[in-house]
A and B are shown apart, each in its own frame.
Chain A
């Protein structure tokens, strides 16, 4: 499982798990949280 997770991270260009936390929210983060929540 850890191996598979490491592969997923590498494929998406993340060096660490920490970098990937909340990555799905990146486009919204650029617009700002309140913009997305509306």
Chain B
């Protein structure tokens, strides 16, 4: 909780007047290898601190059985990304959506390499989806490169994200998510 406050303080102490979209939102990226208590605690902090969003999830330290079968007895260090991460990260996403009652924007991340994968994340509760490993292995089929400067694209994406930050829940109770997705 203190870390989030410190990061926000640091952000707010900077001069963002040159950026049309204003200061960037602060999102918390969580691991897929969390205990049930970890997830409950993170959801409680996210709601209490009104974080701008959660990115679910980072890479996994686990090695699923099908990956382990190809390791030929070798031990691997570090986080695993890509297709093996799709199911576990989507499950955590689903749980975090429920634990935050749809009130915190979630970014679905981990193992997305197709429109169907993105759709699964959206159904599980993602207002946005994030790609990384798939871009390394299959850039063109995943997305076409847009024209324009990098800074311009970043500003547009920040503006899009800000529009998606409206609460997902009304006073009358949860409703279907509100947000945007630019897969």
Contacts and interface: CB of A to CB of B under 8 A. Distances in A.
Interface in B114-144: 114-116, 118-119, 122-127, 141-143
B67 interface: no
Contact of B114 (A1, A17, A33, A37): A1
Contacts of B97: 22, 25
A30 B25 CA distance: 32
A32 B174 CA distance: 9
A12 to B, nearest CB: 8
A18 B126 CA distance: 10
Given A5-B183, A28-B98, A20 B119 contact: yes
A2 B181 CA distance: 10
A4 to B, nearest CB: 3
A17 B160 CA distance: 14
B32 interface: no
Contacts of A20: 119, 122-123, 176
Contacts of B177: 18, 21-22
Given A3-B115, A8-B116, A25-B125, 18 more contacts: A1-B114, A1-B115, A1-B143, A2-B143, A4-B114, A5-B115, A5-B116, A6-B115, A8-B115, A9-B119, A18-B177, A21-B123, A22-B102, A23-B123, A25-B98, A26-B176, A29-B174, A33-B98
Q: Which are the 7 A-B pairs with shortest beta-carbon distances? A: A4-B115, A21-B177, A5-B115, A8-B119, A17-B181, A22-B177, A23-B123
